Amino acid sequence: MHSDFEPGDRIKLNGGLAEVIRAYKVGDLPYLRVYIEGEGAKTVCVEHVSIESADDALSTLDGLNSIPDTRLSLRSGSTCEQTRSSSRLPTNKDNF
């Protein structure tokens, strides 16, 4: 991924999350000054590192939110999803 980077862009740099501080060129070589989580600030040549969009990682996490909640409620035997969609709550009268 070689594109124009802006300060504040979130990227995955060699697999780790990073934020672009500054993008510039030295001759024909593009460089980034980045803050890498857990390591600190670093300057890297774009040609010598692996760069991915951090959005790819976030979209994977967002996909986990669409997994249905199918745990069983021990009281009613229904799934949590069914219990949430029910319009009334069970009472003690339901048990007799």
- Which position has the higher pLDDT, 38 or 94? 38
**pLDDT tops 50 at residue 1:** no
pLDDT tens, 45-84? 999 999 998 775 554 445 445 445 555 556 665 555 554 5
Q: CA-CA distance, 59 to 77, in Å (whole number)?
A: 33
The 3 state secondary structure assigned to the chain is CCCCCCCCCEEEECCEEEEEEEEEEECCEEEEEEEECCCEEEEEEHHHCCEEEHHHHHHHHHHHCCCCCCCECCCCCCEHHHHHHCCCCCCHHHHC
* pLDDT of the residue at 3: 62
